[in-house]
Structure 1
């Protein structure tokens, strides 16, 4: 059971792949959020039961009804929020595997009878992978292979025709304090376009995402393509398959891009990229997490609890435009992109 959010759901996907490879006889049921199902709900060999949190008690009742009369050998209870703990009561299971004591909250321990190994210093994906260790299994390879339908690929080809090196800019995190300043996004976009890259703004259809995109478009010298609100989760995955890099704060699109094999120009100060950055390759991220810890807590990041979020106003100002330009240039060189002078 992991209902949200988009980034965390991408982290669970390799665990599903590992279970299918190492225990192919196992029948898998995933209780998942309504939005998140749109991303991974077509994974083969998995039964999905949707939890629509927007329906409140009715959403819980729908899950309970879908599971009525069923019993499972094991529940991997991969979410500690109280709502998820209460939702887990809908699942009848002999083994209820949850987080270790240090990572538990909201009475999580009352809803499980086994715990994953207590560790610190792990990436979130590795922590989720450890849920199969009590079952005698271990994740030794990470594979996503999230299906993308032909329709999505066709749409993406219309938006990004040809094979021009492309930078996607996904500027918004649901944690708005993680967002970069508008003028800094604009400066990086101007630099990338001056260096010859095709640049496209992407984002969801919400009013805040539209407003942020409009502010960036008003601040740039040369307008990038604006695909904000035009894609879906699957279409975004298809756009990624036609892109070289993505600029984004710590957000769901960061982890979707990593799953798609796209290089991530990650903006990190409020969160630790070693814990929640792009899992496969963090070389292209700007990491100001330690600087943020020193500024706001008066101590290095090594002296604060693992997983601490430094979501303080102004924290992202620690990431300078020149920092990201340097990562952009290094990434382009790594990819063999011939930049304009």
Structure 2
């Protein structure tokens, strides 16, 4: 099968979040395999750009949403006088739709009608085909109007040697490590600290080393402190101590990551690490760790029925069930059972 004619330049607009940025990378790799000389520009959020710094063959234009109108003016200035053959408008939020007005492109490819919202259809002139459920697969469909197919998923995220050296200093040796990243940017997705602690103590009793990671917010600090206080065994506390590049290396070095639906869960998956994900507010089948969903629990349908009065099949793609107490649907016992099953995947020592 011949490769379709290459565009000269493509602009992607996907600002956030960290997990979704990792889901875009396989699309980048698909484009680069087909057209190695293609000029790719990605309009991206500030933290996401730090995580992906060094991604070869990609020009990043950073939009800082916290900068307000100054950030909008800066983006407009950086795009002044530029024109692209193709825009891939990959974010449905109203702000992203409005920002896309600054991007001059002949072809403006966006989401299918069923997924469109917040005026998305007004800012595009082509749509991807309907279909696909996991976010990564839907993102992959953005190459199809160009005549390509995302037939494999590849990340190869750039991680400097210094970051890997730092991670090795934090987690030396070969003892199996359970890395707990307890917080999502959406607080209602977070599991209770005493439940994390119970799973951590079980893993420690099985000979695993326990480490905690997270950002610098007060919520993450307080959650980590509560987990450590509830644990009967010691844990390595790395909350607030890493950069995003160091976090990638840390996630890569872990054997298993325990996390709700969060950026670190998807970053870990992209680095090749198994993820025990906790899903109730969001759907594991849509936004779980893409490479292997087996170890992640999924109470999304139960949550939809309990809090929305409808099965998950009757609510829209991407609908969140974020209510107080929704994560309590996930029991300690089932998470421990997933941990024990996952342990069976690791080679026996000796």
What TM-score comes out, normalization by structure 1 length? 0.96
Q: Which residue of 2 aligns with 1:51?
A: 63
Q: After the TM superposition, which residues 16-165 of structure 1 pair with which residues of structure 2 at under 5 Å, given as runs?
A: 16-119=28-131, 122-165=133-176
- What is the alpha-carbon distance in structure 1 between the residues aligned to residue 341 and residue 204 of structure 2? 16
Runs of at least 5 residues in structure 2 that lack an aligned partner in the other structure: 1-12
Specify which of 278, 301, 306 is matched with residue 290 of structure 1. 301
Specify the alignment match of 2:247 in structure 1. 236
1:321 aligns with 2:332: yes
Q: Distance in 1 between matches of 2:98 and 2:304?
A: 34
| Distance across 2 between alignment mates of 1:132 and 1:57 | 32
Residue aligning to 2:266: 255
Say whether the 8 Å CA contact 2:179–2:212 is kept in structure 1: yes
What does residue 15 of structure 2 align with? Answer: 3
For 1:286 and 1:107, locate their aligned partners in 2 and report how far apart those are by CA, in whole Å: 34
**What stretches of structure 1 move > 6 A for 4+ residues in a row?**
none
- The answer as to whether partners of 2:53 and 2:158 remain within 8 angstroms in 1 is no
Contact map agreement 1:165 1:337 (CA 8 A) in 2 = no
> 1:153-232, aligned counterparts within 5 Å?
153-232=164-243
SS in 2 for 1:69: coil
* Distance in 2 of aligned mates of 1:337 and 1:301: 39
Matches of 1:252 and 1:223, distance apart in 2? 25
The offset of 1:336, in angstroms, is: 2.6
SS of the aligned residue for 1:101 comes to coil
SS at match of 1:270: coil
Secondary structure of the equivalent of 1:235? helix
Alpha carbons of 1:272 and 1:337: their partners in 2 closer, same or farther (altered >3 Å)?
Answer: farther
- TM-score by length of structure 2 reads 0.94
Give the deviation of 1:80 after TM superposition: 1.1
Displacement of 1:99: 1.0
Quote the RMSD (CA, aligned, Å): 1.3
SS at match of 2:253: coil
- Is the contact between residue 115 and residue 317 of structure 2 (CA under 8 Å) also seen in structure 1? no
Where 2:239 maps in the other structure, the secondary structure is coil
Instruction: Please say if residues 40 and 147 of structure 1, whose CA atoms lie closer than 8 Å, have aligned partners that are also in contact.
Output: yes
CA–CA distance in structure 2, aligned partners of residues 179 and 84 of structure 1: 27
Q: 2:3 maps to what in 1? A: none
State the 1:290 CA deviation: 2.1
1:164 to partner: Cα distance: 1.2
Distance in 1 (CA, whole Å) between partners of 2:44 and 2:201 is 39
- Is the CA contact 1:163–1:242 (under 8 Å) kept in the aligned structure 2? no
Alignment deviations for residues 292-314 of structure 1 (CA, whole Å, 9 cap, x no partner):
22322344333333332211211
